[in-house]
Chains A and B, each alone.
Chain A
Amino acid sequence: MTRVRKYHLTLIGVAALLLVMSLVRIITGENDITSSGTFNAALLLAVPIGLAGLGGLWAERAGVVNIGLEGMMVLGTWFAGWAGYQWGPVAALVAGLLGGAIGGLIHAVATVTFGVDHIISGVAINLLGPGVTRFLSEVLFKEGTRASAAGAGITTSPPISGSAWTPSLPVLSDGPDLLGKLESTHWFLLSDLAGILRGLTHDVNILVVLAVLLLPLTYFVLWHTAFGLRLRSAGENPWAAESLGVNVYLTKYVAVVISGAFAGLGGVFLVFVSNKYVEGQTQGRGFIGLATMIFGNWRPGGLAAGASLFGYASGLQLRSSGAVTTFFLFGAVLLLAYLVIQVRRLLAADRPAELAAGPARQYTLMAFAALGMVVLFWLWLTVEQLPNEFVFITPHVLTLLVLLVASQRLRPPKADGVRYRRGEQH
């Protein structure tokens, strides 16, 4: 077999995915599968998840498990809402960032300085976040306050004043809107591509663009700067880093505070989407973000793929509740592809070593895949509309499935979650 580079594989994968999506759209007639509206919504929904995931990435690459992302995100939403209604979007951004960073700081103090178990500290922060914001709401948004006059309730902030700039790509997505025209023709493949591109370029909030840029920025900082190297070494082998004079405590502090800031930024986005702070609006996205990071094998690219997937699932649900059932067909097609590949490999390879290694296991696996395919296909044929609850849990179920399949191949940082104390070698 020739050596195919990773990004070639990715490109091929993306192309195949596009093809399958287009096919599914043609078969089902659900145009929303690749409509620009769906992708616009998907982008908006993927960004907060992705930001939370990036937050997780920063912390865990430095060796601190951060399940407190949810709590930090909640802090981000409240502070964004509170600052946003008074001083506009930019203030909301800064305040949400700081709110999340404070959460991160608390986590850093507990885990790095005091050596508290990372999970325990994270749980505590997830209690603290909603508690503090509720308290602040009760104090600052209660009746008779200025905020209340501006439209606040005990669970919501007043709407954010002013709005952010939402540019579009000239000519293609705006004005002549060539992509839009192409999309509405519903041609095979071409319209799908146009829909996706237009969705990602039409009326995009400038902050979304900035948020998306944080992804390559994170990659650059973590993998191409000295600081990033030190940060990753703290997550892989802090004792080695310490022995070379790296200040591991400081590195971890910075990483966890940035982690909190990213989570807070994710919260800011949620506030922007609904134009105000609403209690409980994170809906566990901090956890989903964490899941995307694991999903993405602690790498920014994989994380982005995970966030896009979850964003897309929710975006599609928003646009058309019926379209989600096409996921069944989608899954069935993927399983079919898997089966075809497996059968071909079995037919091609009759090396005894491979056969001796456990064909029984492989056959059961294939049998399960075949069964799953049939079930999914049947579901697609019979189920008209999925209850909302089931759609909501799509990312969670997908995460579990990915973990089941890939857990052993995932490569978390080696000292992730380890209590590190200066001068105490393991």
Chain B
Amino acid sequence: MSADTLATARPAVELEGITKRFPGVVANHDIRITVAPGTVHAIVGENGAGKSTLMKILYGMQKPDEGTIRVSGTEVAFRTPSDAIAVGIGMVHQHFMLADNLTVLENIVLGAEPKKGGRLDRAAARARIERLAETHGLRVDPGRLVEDLGVGDRQRVEILKVLYRGARILILDEPTAVLVPQEVEELFQNLRELKAEGLTVIFISHKLDEVLGIADAITVIRRGTTVASLPRSEVTSARQLAELMVGSELPTPETRESTVTDRVAFQVGHLTMEAGGHHPAPKGVPVEEYVAKLRADGKRLLLDDVSFAIHEGEILGIAGVEGNGQSELIEAIMGIRPAHGSITLGELDVSSWPTLRRRESGIGYIPEDRHRQGLLLEASLWENRVLGHQTRKPARKGIWVDRRAARADTERIVRDYDVRTPGVDTLALALSGGNQQKLIVGREMSGEPKFLIAAHPTRGVDVGAQAAIWDHLREARAAGLAVLLISADLDELIGLSDTIRVIYRGRLVAALDPSDITPERLGGYMTGAIAGTEET
């Protein structure tokens, strides 16, 4: 569809001057978007640019402070999602909104149940779902428990849920984040079919290649406001979009010269994790053999024979689509979840050590989800400084927590890492994401770690904080720190890493040199499109 026809049709959705403030924060500011009917319209922006808030507004989960929403020309005001559903808007959430212990059928009809004489009319519901599934090519068994479904199936259930309610406008929030490549292709196929039937799709993403592959028009959001809106035909490259997304200068996390030494700082060998709970290998059986047996028995492995070594002064980047074993790798290294195989820090075999001892001996950890694993949100900054360092100076004095020293050291972190805060007694939750993250980076660096896990270290932080965190990582690397960098941001990975390994379905499938690789090729390995097939 060309740009001209887009302009003439009555827009399916029209947002004008949408503004949303949260205490002390403006999440959306004067957002203007026009979505033509029967198109796939992508909304792109960095994490934290305000996409999610915008979608919640459009789906009635939050009310805008200013601005108007028009659907097919009529102005609407949503109080709840039901209002949005009523005018034909449906949303497929990034984190699936499914009840695991209910069947597919139950999940789909929930809130719009067909009834017959007071009871839930399962037969009618089933017939309708099967009809929908058939016409849109979304096959799924209505009788199964959602618990037993894979990720792709779950997403199809989500889409069916929306279609079941007669939605003509579908919002998909980061739909590909959790999918493997074949599933992404299937999804896109489904979306094209939906489009062909005249439905409108709003596709939210920060993955530019995918956006370019599916969208008819693209709107870019930066810092809570729309900065550009173009038809696909006017977009020449992903680079162009990326620059719109982050502003004029694209921060490049390039590490200049190599500081890699020949001293191995950290090593894992044959790291393997079972899906159905850990069963220790019988005595005397080598790990390799036991793992081979597990594989032969058809056991699902979350980590499958992962081995790598990181030298002092080296950053090893792990690339991969989320959910391919990254979290499990981190948890195994930190000693949070048991796994088979060896973990060696310097000369020490730490694989049987508890988490605390691993940390004490020099493993630092910047967690992937800072709110879940990194912070006590309702505690002060200095208490958060103590977290993970309870047993070490300066936080510790015998059996006591050394409050004065902990405060003083927190003040040092606040100064050195430029944490913007009124004081060290402020609660952690009062800080912005970037400042929280800088505090965590400062804390993990302060233990003088020999080895640092940095999982998505700049996720959801503003550009300034991102650059600062990259600088800190680079400095630490120059000082001889070994870093395991796990990130979904390919530019970050390529720019910072000395070596890149790709993780796919729990296996390390490729080792790449970041100096001669493009995000496009890396993406190929991550999705299994390159490595998995032709090597055999």
Contact = CB atoms under 8 A, between A and B. Distances in A.
A–B contact via C-beta, under 8 angstroms: yes
A271 B297 CA distance: 60
B279 A244 contact: no
Contact of A246 (B95, B98, B110, B118): B110
Interface in A199-254: 220, 224-226, 228-230, 232-233, 236-237, 239-246
Contacts of A353: 293, 297
The size class of the interface chain A forms with chain B is 20 to 34
A245 B61 contact: no
A411 B101 contact: yes
B120 interface: yes
A363 to B, nearest CB: 15
Given A353-B297, A358-B279, A225 B119 contact: yes
A388 interface: no
Among A230, A240, A423, the one with the most B-chain Cβ atoms within 10 Å of its Cβ is: A240
Among A242, A244, A246, A353, the one with the most B-chain Cβ atoms within 10 Å of its Cβ is: A244
A421 B339 CA distance: 37
Interface string B386-398: 0000000000000
A414 B110 contact: no
A243 B97 contact: yes
B68 interface: no
B177 to A, nearest CB: 16
Interface in A345-389: 353, 356-358
Contacts of B91: 243
Nearest to A244: B111
A264 interface: no
A239 B95 CA distance: 11
Main secondary structure on A side of the interface with B: helix
The size class of the interface chain B forms with chain A is 20 to 34
Nearest to B52: A425
B107 A240 contact: yes
A128 B109 CA distance: 40
Contact of B106 (A229, A356, A358): A229
Contacts of A225: 115, 118-120
B110 A224 contact: no
Interface string B110-133: 111101001110000000000000
Contacts of B97: 237, 239-240, 243-244
Contact of B113 (A229, A232, A243, A357): A229
Contacts of B80: 245
A288 B387 CA distance: 41
B232 interface: no
A256 B161 CA distance: 28
A240 B110 contact: yes
A356 B282 CA distance: 7
Contact of B101 (A220, A236, A358, A423): A236
A244 B97 CA distance: 9
A233 B85 contact: no
A225 B282 CA distance: 51
Given A246-B110, A356-B282, A237 B81 contact: no
Contacts of A180: none
B336 interface: no
A413 B111 contact: no
Interface string B345-356: 000000000000
Nearest to A358: B279
A277 B107 CA distance: 45
B172 to A, nearest CB: 14
B62 interface: yes
Contacts of A239: 97
A229 B109 contact: yes
Given A241-B110, A241-B111, A425-B95, A233 B279 contact: no
A245 B95 CA distance: 17
B99 A423 contact: no
Contact of B102 (A232, A245, A357): A232
7 contacts: A226-B120, A229-B106, A232-B102, A236-B100, A242-B81, A244-B111, A245-B81
Given A237-B99, A357-B279, A358-B279, 4 more contacts: A236-B99, A244-B110, A244-B161, A411-B101
Which 4 pairs, one residue from A and one from B, show the smallest C-beta to C-beta distance? Answer: A245-B82, A244-B111, A236-B99, A226-B113
